[in-house]
Chain A
Amino acid sequence: MNITLNVNGQNKQVAVPSLDMPLLWVLRDIMGLTGTKYGCGIEVCGACTVIIDNQREHACVFNVGSAVGKKITTIEGLSAPGTQSHPVQKAWIDNQVPQCGYCQPGMIMACEAARRAGHHGTEILSELKHLCVCGTYQRIREAVKTL
Chain B
Amino acid sequence: MATTNNKITASQPEMGLALNRRGFLVRALGGLSLGFFLPEAGHFFDLQAADPPPQQLANAYIRIFPDNTVTLLFGGCEMGQGTKTGLAQILAEELFVEWNQVKVEQSLVDPIVTYGTGGSSGVSRRYDRLRNAGAAARELLILAAMDKTGDTNRNNYRAQSATVVYTGPNAVSPGVWTYGVLAAAAALKTVPADLRLTNPANFRLIGKPLSRVDIPSKTDGSAIYGIDVWFPDMVFAAIKHCPTIGGVMATLPATPRGALAVVPCKASDTRGAITAGSVNAVAVVATDTWTAKNLANSLSVSWTLPASTAGVDSAAILAQAQSLMASGAGVLVAEPVPPTGYTPATYAPVIEGQVNSAMGTPTIDSTYSLPYVAHATMEVLNCSVKFAFNAAGAPASCEIWAPNQNATSVTTYAAAASGLLPAAIKVNTTYLGGGLGRKIEQDYVSQAVQVALVVKRPVKLTWMREEDFTHDQYRPMALVNVKAKLSGSNITAWAYRTVTPSISQQRGRLAAGAIDSQAVECARNLPYNLGTHVVEWVPSPAGIPVGYWRSVGASIHVFAVESFIDELAKSANVDPFTFRYSLLTDLPDNRARNVLAAADAMSLTWRNSLPAGRAWGVAIGEAFGTWVCEVVEISAPTATSITVHRVNCAVDCGMAINPNSVEAQMQGGIVHGLNATLWGQTTFTAGKANQKNFNVNRMLRLNEMPQITVKIVQSSTTAPTGTGEPGVPPVAAAVGNAYARLTGKRQRSLPFFPGAVMGGI
B307 within 8 A of A: no
- Which single member of A40, A44, A93, A129 contacts B215 (CB below 8 Å)? A93
- Given known pairs A34-B228, A42-B760, A135-B670, the reply for A100 and B219 (CB within 8 Å) is no
Are A134 and B702 touching (Cβ within 8 A)? no
A2 within 8 A of B: no
Are B672 and A21 touching (Cβ within 8 A)? no
Chain B 639-680 near chain A by CB (<8 Å), digits 1 or 0: 000000000000000000000100010011111100100000
Residues of A within 8 A of B288 (CB): 17, 21, 25, 29-30
Are B434 and A131 touching (Cβ within 8 A)? no
- Cα separation A135 to B218 with both chains bound (whole Å): 15
Are A137 and B80 touching (Cβ within 8 A)? no
Residues of A within 8 A of B236 (CB): 29
- Cα separation A17 to B258 with both chains bound (whole Å): 10
Instruction: Determine how close the nearest CB of chain A comes to the CB of B374; give it in whole angstroms.
Output: 11
Residues of A within 8 A of B157 (CB): none
Are A136 and B216 touching (Cβ within 8 A)? no
Chain A 30-45 near chain B by CB (<8 Å), digits 1 or 0: 1011111111111111
Are A79 and B220 touching (Cβ within 8 A)? yes
Interface footprint category on B: 35 or more
Instruction: Determine how close the nearest CB of chain A comes to the CB of B678; give it in whole angstroms.
Output: 13
Are A103 and B378 touching (Cβ within 8 A)? yes
A7 within 8 A of B: no
Chain B 149-193 near chain A by CB (<8 Å), digits 1 or 0: 000000000000000000000000000000000000000000000
- Cα separation A92 to B705 with both chains bound (whole Å): 18
Residues of A within 8 A of B433 (CB): 37, 100-102
- Given known pairs A32-B6, A98-B80, A130-B761, the reply for A40 and B221 (CB within 8 Å) is no
- Cα separation A141 to B287 with both chains bound (whole Å): 40
- Cα separation A69 to B230 with both chains bound (whole Å): 26
Residues of A within 8 A of B670 (CB): 135
Residues of A within 8 A of B290 (CB): 21-22, 24-25, 29
- Cα separation A22 to B288 with both chains bound (whole Å): 11
Are B760 and A25 touching (Cβ within 8 A)? no
Please tell me the number of chain A residues within 8 Å of chain B, measured between CB atoms.
64
Chain B 1-41 near chain A by CB (<8 Å), digits 1 or 0: 00001100000000000000000000000000000000000
A109 closest partner in B (C-beta): B221
- Given known pairs A97-B215, A129-B702, the reply for A34 and B694 (CB within 8 Å) is no
A56 closest partner in B (C-beta): B761
Residues of B within 8 A of A35 (CB): 220-222, 228
Residues of B within 8 A of A75 (CB): 220-221
Are B291 and A17 touching (Cβ within 8 A)? yes
Instruction: Determine how close the nearest CB of chain A comes to the CB of B20; give it in whole angstroms.
Output: 38
- Cα separation A124 to B290 with both chains bound (whole Å): 32
Are B219 and A84 touching (Cβ within 8 A)? yes
B514 within 8 A of A: no
- Which single member of B212, B376, B464 contacts A41 (CB below 8 Å)? B464
Are A108 and B668 touching (Cβ within 8 A)? no
Instruction: Determine how close the nearest CB of chain B comes to the CB of A126; give it in whole angstroms.
Output: 7
- Which single member of A32, A79, A137 contacts B671 (CB below 8 Å)? A137
Are B287 and A17 touching (Cβ within 8 A)? yes
- Cα separation A106 to B214 with both chains bound (whole Å): 18
- Which single member of B217, B228, B671, B693 contacts A134 (CB below 8 Å)? B671
Are A130 and B702 touching (Cβ within 8 A)? yes
A/B interface sample: 18 pairs, CB < 8 A: A24-B290, A29-B290, A32-B5, A34-B221, A37-B433, A38-B227, A39-B378, A44-B759, A76-B221, A92-B215, A98-B80, A100-B435, A108-B219, A130-B701, A131-B378, A131-B701, A133-B671, A137-B705
Q: Please give me the 3 A-B residue pairs with the lowest Cβ-Cβ distance, nearest first.
A: A35-B221, A135-B671, A102-B433
